[in-house]
Structure 1
């Protein structure tokens, strides 16, 4: 339809819609993979509840507020996958992650 009615049109895409499509496709693959695993298994849990980790670069950094209110530094940047970083208790694995 576009080629017929708009033969001289220039196709353009922006990064928002590229990332939106990427996330949709990633979600489709994730859900298809989840359907192939047993409900309640570790793999199912990770795909269902920890799926935000799929899109993070290995060297990604996150910003945390500086706990010292008198410090001149306002924020601290830490590596997301730092093994010495902040941990939270995970009920499924019954351990600190």
Structure 2
């Protein structure tokens, strides 16, 4: 999924409790589902960031040559400006883009 084009807010906002709990009927169940989705998003973003930063990595054991790589700094700043995984998960939940099921029900 493309998290870079997310419409999630960059700062904390208040959500309507009824909209959050409406799909499941239980606020706590909805929060658990969103938390699990946020963990998935965080893992995806972390993996993507590490792959991009590995392109700039120097693989020598010398501590004498430590230098700043402007491209590496720009990539890091870009990922820092993205919305937090929890905000993305809440937006996906409110837009009914999150699939969830209860294993007990058939």
Which TM-score applies when normalising by structure 1?
0.30
Higher relative contact order (CA 8 A, sep 6+): 2
Larger radius of gyration: 1
More strand by share: 1
